[in-house]
Amino acid sequence: MYKVVRKKVLNSQVKLLEIEAPYVARKAEPGQFIILRTHADGERVPLTIADFDRVKGTITIIFQEVGATTKQLGQMEVGDKLLDFAGPLGIASHFDGVKKAAVIGGGLGTAIAFPQAKKLHGMGVEVDMIAGFRNQELIILEEEMKTVATNLYITTDDGSNGRKGFVTDMLKQLIEAGNKYDVVIAIGPPIMMKFICALTKPYGIRTIVSLNPVMVDGTGMCGGCRVTVGGETKFACVDGPDFDGHQVDFDELMRRIGMYKTEEKISEEAHACNIGLH
């Protein structure tokens, strides 16, 4: 059993849990993920590791309450326990030779971009971090990002925080201002990553994306997380989740992510009904 040792509400939709998982924390690196179950009949849910503390033996996860299991997670309090917490899974991010990087997070993707920026900052890399949200109320991890970014740029679609626009607009401004990035790391909705890759490709800037297709077992056996990269089939759970963004078939990825929307809605409604019966 894996105990919740800290809980924080980041905004109306997003929550943070710090989980006691010393064996996972011992090996965890940015870019990797875990798969959890809340109880014996629960579904297996993959979540990227948002942070880790090897001394405390904890893993931090950040999630949006969008389905039955994430809503169950959101109801958990300090002292509650998860049944399963497997990991770290996936290939850790590698940034050898990087001296200047742009790290971009879109919405909840900011929680995944944060550990990337933290690792780069710890390596002495100059980090420009761009985080985009729909509005000011949805901004998360602002203070944390300030500690790992040389420069932090937060944008909102509606301009409610004073900087209106998309992350692509901000990145284009920085590139055209003469910033020479060794790598751009983009994590967020597939459509956002697609447009960032389209922006960086003409400049020849290496661009890494973190993919989140449907995933079941985390070992590559189920095939649910297959993606097409460079014309070849890859499995996000064992070959990724980081990939060369200029090689990813984003249109196929978006189709696959949307395949199970109906089933997800049914699962959520069934979960709500079960709560009402107890």
What is the rounded average pLDDT of the residues 253-271?
A: 66
- Closest among 86, 145, 84, 81 to 110, alpha carbons compared: 145
Predicted confidence (pLDDT) at residue 230 exceeds the cutoff of 50: yes
In this predicted model, what pLDDT tens digit does every residue of 163-201 receive, in sequence order?
Answer: 899 999 999 999 999 999 999 999 999 999 999 999 999
Query: If 0-12 CB within 10 Å is exposed, 13-18 middle and 19+ buried, where does residue 276 land?
Result: exposed
What's the CA gap between 238 and 219, in Å, rounded?
6
Would you tell me which CATH number, out of the four given (3.30.2320.80, 2.40.50.140, 3.50.50.60, 2.40.30.10), belongs to the domain 2-89?
2.40.30.10
Rounded Cα–Cα distance for residues 175 and 177 (Å): 5
Six-digit token pair at 176?
A: 């055209």
Please tell me the CATH code under which domain 100-258 is placed.
Answer: 3.40.50.80
- Position 263 pLDDT exceeds 80: no
CB 47 within 8 A of CB 66: no
Return the CA Rg of the chain.
18
pLDDT of residue 267: 54
CATH 2.40.30.10 domain span(s) along the chain: 2-89
Instruction: Please say if the pLDDT value at position 270 is more than 60.
Output: no
Percent of the chain with pLDDT over 70: 93
Is residue 138 pLDDT above 60, yes or no? yes
pLDDT attached to residue 265: 59
Q: Residue 63 CB: number of other CB atoms within 10 A? A: 24
Q: Pick left, alpha or beta for residue 36 (phi over 0 → left; psi -120 to 50 → alpha; otherwise beta).
A: beta
pLDDT-based confidence at residue 262 (cuts at 50, 70, 90): low
Q: How confident is residue 268, by pLDDT bands cut at 50, 70 and 90? A: low
Domain with CATH 3.40.50.80 in the chain: 100-258
Across the chain, what does the average pLDDT equal? 89
